[in-house]
Amino acid sequence: MTELSHAQIERFITEGFVRIDAAFPRSLADEGRAILWRDTGFDPLDPKTWTKPVVRLGMYGQRPFADAANTPVLRAAFDQLVGRGRWQPPAALGTFPVRFPSPDDPGDAGWHVDASFGTENPDFMTWRVNVASRGRALLMLFLFSDVSESDAPTRIRAGSHLDIARQLASAGEQGLTLRDLAANGFAETAHRQQVLATGEAGTVYLCHPFLVHTAQPHRGTRPRFMAQPPLLPAEPLRLEREHGDYSPVERAIRGALSGGL
């Protein structure tokens, strides 16, 4: 088992994500993808059946998905980034936005952060985020297929989590809605470097919950299978700890608010 290096953790704090290659075995990706193909209703061997730019599939708790989310490499990384005992072991993976090559607009390619509470409201633009990231310890991207630059990889604005932390600071416990955050199109993060979430099947990106990211149209030839689940906290994140044992997720927020990052 290989733990994250000090340099990787420091880059997570400043850039908002860490890429872990071979975080889970390709064999699990292959098994999981077979299940997902079945549920799309499309024929993997007949591109003429791929009639939608994106098919959204729900939560998957079958063995290949649960095993992929709980490898020793990932569990060690969760401990390092969130804190031992401060996260809940993932029981399932989802949602899967399966993207197919298409000239059509997928309708969901806009910069955003993933909201984490208030999700009982059917209007997702009212879902909320607060500076303590209530309800979410990490955003995770699990690649269940090989994803090149041509395969509609998720676009990430490196370091944008720091801008969002500063924006949330004055909103207190109630935080801001996705509508509030998106009002200016996330203009405060537009200067950030764009990174593409590419990699082989089995690659996982562990992201700060405030990281700004977006989908994009698929102009390649191979369907892209990726899960984007949260890592749920076992206890609330804290920006003030008596003994100062802050996790990297908390350190990033504190650094953004103090002006140190």
Provide the pLDDT for residue 104: 86
Q: What is the value of pTM for the model shown?
A: 0.96
Q: Tell me the HSE value of 13 on the side-chain side, using a 13 A CA sphere.
A: 20
Q: How many CB atoms lie within 10 A of CB 207?
A: 28
Provide the pLDDT for residue 1: 58
Provide the pLDDT for residue 185: 94
Query: Residues 47-86, buried b or exposed e (16+ Cβ, 10 A)?
Result: eeebeebbbebeebeeebbbebbebebbbebbbbbbbeeb
One pLDDT digit (tens) per residue for the chain, 261 residues: 579 999 999 999 999 999 999 999 999 999 999 999 999 999 999 999 999 999 999 999 999 999 999 999 999 999 999 999 999 999 999 789 999 999 888 888 899 999 999 999 999 999 999 999 999 999 999 999 999 999 999 999 999 999 999 999 999 999 999 999 999 999 999 999 999 999 999 999 999 999 999 999 999 999 999 999 999 999 999 999 988 899 999 999 999 999 888
C-alpha angle 133-135-140 in degrees, rounded to nearest 5: 80
Provide the pLDDT for residue 195: 98
Alpha-carbon 192 to chain mean position: 18
Provide the pLDDT for residue 244: 87
**Of 38, 94, 23, 44, whose CA–CA distance to 65 is shortest?**
94
- Tell me how far apart the terminal alpha carbons of the chain are, to the nearest angstrom: 31
Alpha-carbon 80 to chain mean position: 17
**Of 99, 38, 102, 101, whose CA–CA distance to 64 is shortest?**
38
Q: How many CB atoms lie within 10 A of CB 150?
A: 14
DSSP 122: S
DSSP 112: B
